[in-house]
Chain A
Amino acid sequence: MELLNAFIAIANPVPLFFITLGVFLGIVVGAIPGLGGAMLIALLLPVTFYMDSLLALMLLVSIYVGSVSGGLITAIMLKMPGTPSAVMTVMDGYPMTLQGRAGRALSLGIMASFFGGVISWLFLALLAPPLADFALKFGPYELFTLVLMALVLIATISGKEVIKGLLVALFGMSVAMVGTDFTSGETRFYFEIDELAAGFQLLPVLLGVFVISQIIDDVVNGEKQVAQYNGLLNEFLPKISDLSKHGVNTIRSSFIGTWIGILPGVGSSIAAIVAYSTARSISKTPETFGTGEEAGIVAAESSNNASVNGALIPLITLGIPGSVIDSILIGALVIHDLQPGPLLFQNSPEIAYGVIAAALVANLLMVVVMFLGVRPIAKIAGIPKGYLYPAIIVCCVIGIYSLSNNLFDVWVMVGFGILGYFFRKGGYPVGPFVLGYILAPLAEKELRTGLMLYDGSLAPLFTRPISLFFIVLTFILVLWPLIYKWKAGAK
């Protein structure tokens, strides 16, 4: 019933405008290599501060949906995946373009993205409310082990070296320790700098590591100029026969994408890789993959879009971000004084169901915007960053300054931008840093509450079934890839 009300609320010009705007902007930044949804969402956070909470979240979720879809445009037309999640789309998309079938490749990619989004949305709509109800039964140790699982998983999976992921996550947790301790009220680690007494604010940190560091990286290394595509777009309209031809592949890849999206830190690019590999291994003609095989595009695009809604499930129900963009969305909830997690359904059902409904509407609008705007969007992707980056910096400065009328936060943003740049150069993934920074206060609070509740004993971590389940699951998820690698090496 609440979901129906959410759809009714969306069926008005203002929400539809913001969702369309979000989808369009998301597709554009998704199509531009080097930018991406995380950067745009972080950049727009200060702007949404002045917006109605529901509209703001609808806008941000729509950008998320659009950005994952937009990557396929430049991946297919120009062999440049706009986002990492479109990396597998290049494999067969660009060969199809070389064969003069760019229109067909785009059409398949768009429709696969759409069906991937819709199938995973069904999981989101069906699983989220009961899961949130169930999560309300969680005690402090259950929540602590859940947060720990998310942190360990993202730290160990997201980088090439486990130790780097762990170190950067711990650094993020350290940054979160600065400021007032919630239990004792003591001000910690501010080293007599008054501006730090309240801790590092969320937005300067996010804009620093996502936006400023990306700009520094591109300026130092030189931008990769996006070329223009001037070929024809034949066979651009989807065919009914595609449903029977690619239906099974779409459903299977969407399941894979949804499941991988639910896992913290794994992300849409891994979803695309796994779904693509599965499609190739199941195919009767695996040798055609990489030469313009339609099934390759379908697998990659349905799975990466499915991962978006998959990742929204733990975000909305448990307050645990499934990806870097989700961690920024958690920041958006916090900025709007909304409590991420199971209480969101109880305290602000209009927001929880509004986000779920917006995810589906954004998927529908994505198809419309993509079919109508592929060519102009591909042209926008070619705008030199010399015009974009200075403007983005000015927007960041205005956005950060306007939050507290204090330039200290602007310098903090620059500082974290420089840090983020060195993380990138040193091969330290920024995802675990952000998750560590966002989840550390929750982990600390739940651990200390649990210790107070159980007279300082940690034994309930192992005797309570749910927390034990999360501990065992953490070990399995961390060890499984290692065992898989070891087995593959032994073969």
Chain B
Amino acid sequence: MNRVNTVSVSDFLCVLLFMATGGLILLGSMSLPGPEYDPLGPAGVPQYIAYIMLFLSSLKLISLIRSMKRFSLSQNVEARKRGQYAIAIVFFISFFIYLLLLNIGGFSFSMVTFAFLVLSGFSLMNFNVSKLPLIVAVSVVLSFGLTYIFADILNVVLPD
């Protein structure tokens, strides 16, 4: 199985993003009215930005394609990296579930925050069970403490 290395993949994705953004701006500017108050109008400057961005990202894309090195993807991913990916996956899943629950609504902010803090803290501490009591204690203080400070003292509206 051949793959480009990870730095190139990120680079490649960024270039595609820049090209897509340039394209979207040109597409969006088609529906904008022409110049009325000034010689450029609302679409003028964005169009220039889009043209330059498309030109530069095309140059970058060509240089990326030309310099793309192919090599076999190692099947022996380091154990440390595997562990780190597991941590990252649990962390990000807990983060997205946290935001989704807030989006759906109907849950106590403190409780959802507490659950997120425990799960994400546990994963970031390498799933070390011996640290769980401290993580739970810190999470209780943070979730209920932050809710108290923001909602009760500062009168900030929190999602619920």
Contact = CB atoms under 8 A, between A and B. Distances in A.
21 contacts: A164-B60, A167-B14, A170-B56, A171-B18, A174-B21, A186-B32, A188-B28, A188-B46, A189-B46, A220-B84, A390-B121, A393-B95, A397-B98, A401-B158, A405-B157, A426-B11, A426-B13, A427-B7, A428-B11, A444-B45, A448-B38
Given A186-B42, A427-B7, A174 B53 contact: yes
B50 A174 contact: yes
B60 A386 contact: no
B28 A191 contact: yes
Interface stretch (A36-44, A301-309, A341-349, A406-414): A406-414
Contacts, number: 173
Contact of B13 (A387, A422, A449): A422
Contacts of B156: 50, 398, 402
Interface string A384-427: 11110111011101100110010100110010000100110111
A interface, over-half SS: helix
A385 B15 CA distance: 32
A389 B46 contact: no
A138 B138 CA distance: 54
Contacts of A57: none
B122 to A, nearest CB: 8
B99 A385 contact: no
A389 B135 CA distance: 12
Nearest to B147: A398
A398 B7 contact: no
A437 to B, nearest CB: 12
A460 B49 CA distance: 22
B111 interface: no
Interface in A167-218: 167-168, 170-171, 173-174, 177, 181, 183-184, 186, 188-189, 191, 216
Contacts of B125: 384, 386
A451 B38 contact: yes
Given A394-B146, A395-B146, A428 B91 contact: no
A183 B135 CA distance: 53
Given A188-B28, A389-B124, A451-B38, A410 B99 contact: yes
Nearest to A173: B49
B45 A401 contact: no
A183 B157 CA distance: 34
B59 A163 contact: yes
Nearest to B13: A422
Interface in B27-61: 28-29, 32-33, 36-46, 49-50, 52-53, 56-57, 59-60
A447 interface: yes
Contacts of A425: 6-7, 10
Contacts of A181: 42
Interface size class of chain B, counting residues whose CB lies under 8 Å from the partner chain: 35 or more
A372 interface: no
B102 A167 contact: no
Interface string B1-16: 0000011001111110
A456 interface: yes
Contacts of A173: 49
A394 B116 contact: yes
B120 A389 contact: yes
A473 interface: no
A163 B157 CA distance: 43
B25 interface: yes
A99 interface: no
Given A163-B59, A387-B138, A394-B143, A422 B159 contact: no
Contacts of B28: 188-189, 191
Nearest to B95: A393
A448 B18 contact: no
B87 A189 contact: no
A426 B56 contact: no
